[in-house]
Amino acid sequence: GNSVTQMEGPVTLSEEAFLTINCTYTATGYPSLFWYVQYPGEGLQLLLKATKADDKGSNKGFEATYRKETTSFHLEKGSVQVSDSAVYFCAPSGRDSGAGSYQLTFGKGTKLSVIP
Amino acid sequence: EAQVTQNPRYLITVTGKKLTVTCSQNMNHEYMSWYRQDPGLGLRQIYYSMNVEVTDKGDVPEGYKVSRKEKRNFPLILESPSPNQTSLYFCASSLRRGQGSYEQYFGPGTRLTVT
């Protein structure tokens, strides 16, 4: 089956610091890759995605590049803000070999706290 | 407004008392899914549905039931809840796309406590 290894948290950064959250995956076939974000007290929402090798997804200053050769999709932001404090989930979408359908597999999440 | 709604948002119940958590989406999505979120375990899929009357087990289906009689609704049923089902539950929906690049839209969550 599919699996995700995501950087353990929690991560605490000062405002304007550089952020990297590592994510590597295993998946059947050629997955699409997603980062979801969960703000306190809310459900998950899509942050960015990439659907093929070397694609770069970007949104709200966050970026992640689909690296097929290293099966990685690391999340980066050059200058974090207090409002970025949230839990971030890496999620490949790959074909489930058993069911034959595409399924999202979520990492365990990385909690980011940004302090002023 | 496009959204996924869940009810109730919070529920405290006792062991063995049947309950249903409702989920509804207004985006005409084919695919719907239930997850539970627990500290240190991330999100784990309970059940999913590819379309009306088509449901299948996810990673942790034991103790849960679902039904998909209408496209917009996907209720989660706990016939006999136990304390280990205390968790935060999310419903999600998406369009189904052939290459699997669909985005899932999540509800706000239901926090369930079973005593």
Cis peptide before B61 (omega within 30 of 0): no
**In chain B, what residues touch A95 (CB-CB under 8 Å)?**
100
Instruction: Quote the tokens at residue B14.
Output: 């006792």
Q: Work out the pLDDT band at A99, boundaries 50, 70, 90.
A: low
CA atoms of A89 and B92, how far apart (whole Å): 15
| B52-80 tens-digit pLDDT | 999 999 889 999 999 999 999 999 999 99
When CB atoms are compared, the residue of A31, A95, A104 closest to B104 is: A104
Strands B42-51 and B31-38: antiparallel
* Rounded alpha-carbon distances, angstroms, from residue A72 to A10, A28, A39, B42: 20, 14, 24, 19
Instruction: Quote the tokens at residue B6.
Output: 């869940």
Which of the two residues, B35 and B102, has the higher pLDDT score?
B35
Hey, are the CB atoms on A51 and B101 less than 8 Å from each other? yes
Hey, are the CB atoms on B108 and A44 less than 8 Å from each other? no
Residue type, A104: L
| A62-73 tens-digit pLDDT | 999 999 999 999
